[in-house]
Chain A
Amino acid sequence: MTQHELAIAVAQPAEESPPRAGRRRLSSSAGRRRPAVLRYWPQYLAISPFYVLFAVFGLFPVLFSLYLSFHRWSGVGERKWVGLQQYRFLVKDHTFYLSLWNTLLIWGMSTLPMLFGALVLAAMLHSVARAKGLYRMAFFIPNVTSVVAMAILFRMLFSSNFGLINVVLHWLHLPTYAWTNTPWGIRISIASLMTWQWVGYNAIIYLAGLQTIPNHLYEAAQLDGAGPIRTFFSVTVPLLRPVILFTVVISTITGMQSFTEAQVMTGSNAAVNPNSGGPGQGGLTMVLYFYQQAFSYNDFGYGAAIAWGIFLIVGVFTVVNWRLVARKED
């Protein structure tokens, strides 16, 4: 599930289509004797592909990964039942905690500038009369571009030896930094990429939210002598609050599961294993650690345990976030 999908699903509670008495009458004359379940066989057939595919590629895998997490298995040979041992190892695994820490840092460093920048851009977009569609398109382009491609580009922009960022810092007589060679540098590079890719998307969401705020509130603020900055903080932000809080929750769920950015940006730096998260393992996110254990080391049992660990952490984190949000709403 991607950020877009989550955004749409959370914002649109499924509408119930009202029961339709008229059609009922029409169809009942056709098959009065047959039980409803048989009468509706074309409908069941129409929705069945999803459930069949899901049973094979969704439900079974989820259950099987739970089963695997109680085993030691490398994909070949005997599966060995080890009970809770994988989980016992997980709660003591320093690398897993490092990956959690990295994930949280990258999430924080990307989400705050991303949402703040989006808010500013959306407010500006809302206030202009011309070229709105053009701006919106330009802001959205980073979001449709492949993460792999942009991760390669960002690694070059941040390169310690020849990257443009350091060149510009040098021109400005500021100290340069070994972005791609240090844990903090790599985290900041990854967070920058995520910010760049998602700031425009969030701005467009905020803009749609802004457009639902009635104009007379702005006129009233103007009459009261409030300047644009005052209006922004006392009219726009409070009214946009549900949308803002909602983007925070969405960014939490997806940011906690970041993988591609980290995997590609640290990929060519590690001499031994390309999936180890770069220098000092600073770019090792939770999902990258999962991928490394499962698919670099073929440790399927431990990989499954990590996946369930991530699931729990993201779930708890989201619920806590949601609760905090709901309490502030009162």
Chain B
Amino acid sequence: MLHRLRRAQVLPHAVLVVGVLISMFPFYWSIVLATNTSRDVFRYPPRLLPGSHLVENVHHVLDNIDFFGSMLNTLIVAICTTALVLFFDSLAAFTFAKYDFPGRNVMFGLLMLIFMLPAQLSIIPQYLIMVKIGWVGTLQALVVPAAVNAFGIFWMRQYITRAFPDELLDAAKIDGAGFLRTYASVCLPMIRPGLAFLGIYTFIGSWNDYIWPLVVLNNPDKITLQVALAQLNLGAGGALTDYAMLMAGTLMAVTPLLIVFTLFARGFVADLAKGAVTG
């Protein structure tokens, strides 16, 4: 293969391959640690190849935390949040993009202003609200505040403005379709790629969310994967720590999302970059 590349291409590929190796190495190393015994972790020189103790380490993880329970919680939260965000954000975005109702620009300006507020300003009162309404330790405490967001509305509005021609709106009107009907049967089918992007984006964000679940989930039966992982890590402070078990837990927590990402996110990376550069 190499002779077919022009000579000028050898150096860039060499640099890029080094970059890929650095990007991927931590994953390889977590596999190495998770498949060897915890005694091997301390061995010098260290083992550089995967071992055969994965199953035993996974068993230790399952003894220590309710891994599948917390994964189920994470899945429930991520799926509910994503579904709600897709519905509410696209509906609001469609309205902002295609209807010239009184006060539209003021409302949209307000939305952008809100978007710029940093999260830690509202965490304490949000927690106090959750205490007051008895949602501390429940999953709806994660889903409901995240059910609609300024970023998604902003992004979808840009998308719909470009992807959805005004003529279609007029055609729908002439056919006698009302607002909700137009949204559901004309707009939604047209913006599927945009929904896919926002969906993947929201799902990943929700799956990896940490500070808010850490604050609001105090019930050991109802924690998310990230919080469970942090607890596993916190419990691992002592001298006789089972580091192989800790790594197995880490590996188990990141693998599902990575599989989902590599399978479904072909255009996702390009979209994210395009959004950040072109206006």
Contact = CB atoms under 8 A, between A and B. Distances in A.
B279 A11 contact: yes
Contacts of A311: 118, 120-121
B42 A50 contact: no
B272 interface: yes
A207 interface: yes
B100 A157 contact: no
Interface stretch (B50-58, B60-68, B165-173, B188-196): B165-173
A161 interface: yes
A8 to B, nearest CB: 4
A146 B257 contact: yes
B278 interface: yes
A129 interface: yes
A212 to B, nearest CB: 7
A223 interface: no
Contacts of A154: 26
Contacts of A314: 118
Interface in A109-161: 117, 120-121, 124-125, 127-130, 133, 135-142, 144-150, 152-154, 156-157, 161
B9 A129 contact: yes
Interface in B93-126: 94-102, 105, 107-108, 110-112, 114-126
Interface residues of A, number: 112
A50 B88 contact: yes
Contact of A144 (B12, B128, B258): B258
Nearest to B107: A47
Interface in A151-181: 152-154, 156-157, 161-162, 164, 167
Given A11-B278, A120-B15, A148-B230, A49 B112 contact: no
Interface residues of B, number: 119
A238 interface: no
A138 B20 contact: yes
A49 B92 contact: yes
Interface stretch (A16-24, A93-101, A319-327): A16-24
A182 interface: no
Given A47-B92, A53-B147, A267-B234, A40 B246 contact: no
Contacts of A260: 210-211
A208 B273 contact: yes
B196 to A, nearest CB: 15
Contacts of B240: none
Given A11-B277, A146-B257, A268 B94 contact: no
Contacts of A124: 11-13, 15-16, 19
Nearest to A39: B101
Interface string A265-293: 00111010010000000000001001100
A128 B233 contact: no
Contacts of A125: 12, 16
Contacts of A138: 19-20, 23-24
Interface in B205-226: 205, 207-208, 210-211, 215, 225-226
A294 interface: yes
A12 interface: yes
Given A4-B272, A290-B120, A141 B258 contact: yes
Contacts of B266: 133
Given A11-B275, A49-B88, A54 B114 contact: yes
Given A11-B279, A145-B254, A167 B46 contact: yes
B275 A12 contact: yes
B101 A146 contact: no
Contact of A139 (B19, B125, B169): B19
Given A46-B94, A136-B270, A260-B211, A145 B257 contact: yes
Interface in B1-54: 5, 8-9, 11-13, 15-16, 19-20, 22-24, 26-27, 29-30, 33, 41-42, 44-46
Nearest to B98: A17
B148 interface: yes
B99 A294 contact: no
A5 interface: yes
A185 interface: no
B101 A40 contact: yes
Given A4-B272, A137-B262, A138-B20, A62 B9 contact: no
Interface string B238-254: 00000100110010011
A310 B120 contact: yes
Given A141-B261, A152-B250, A314-B118, A23 B169 contact: yes
5 contacts: A9-B112, A127-B9, A146-B226, A267-B230, A300-B128
Interface of B: 5, 8-9, 11-13, 15-16, 19-20, 22-24, 26-27, 29-30, 33, 41-42, 44-46, 88, 91-92, 94-102, 105, 107-108, 110-112, 114-129, 131, 144-145, 147-151, 153-155, 157-158, 161, 166, 169-170, 173-174, 178-180, 183, 201, 204-205, 207-208, 210-211, 215, 225-226, 229-230, 233-237, 243, 246-247, 250, 253-254, 257-258, 261-262, 265-266, 269-270, 272-279
Given A61-B124, A62-B121, A196-B23, 20 more contacts: A1-B118, A1-B151, A4-B201, A47-B96, A53-B145, A62-B125, A117-B19, A136-B269, A139-B23, A141-B27, A148-B208, A148-B210, A149-B226, A152-B246, A162-B243, A167-B44, A204-B272, A205-B277, A260-B210, A311-B121
Q: Which 10 A-B pairs have CB atoms at the shortest separation, nearest pair first? A: A61-B122, A61-B125, A40-B101, A268-B237, A7-B276, A64-B125, A124-B12, A42-B179, A208-B277, A208-B273
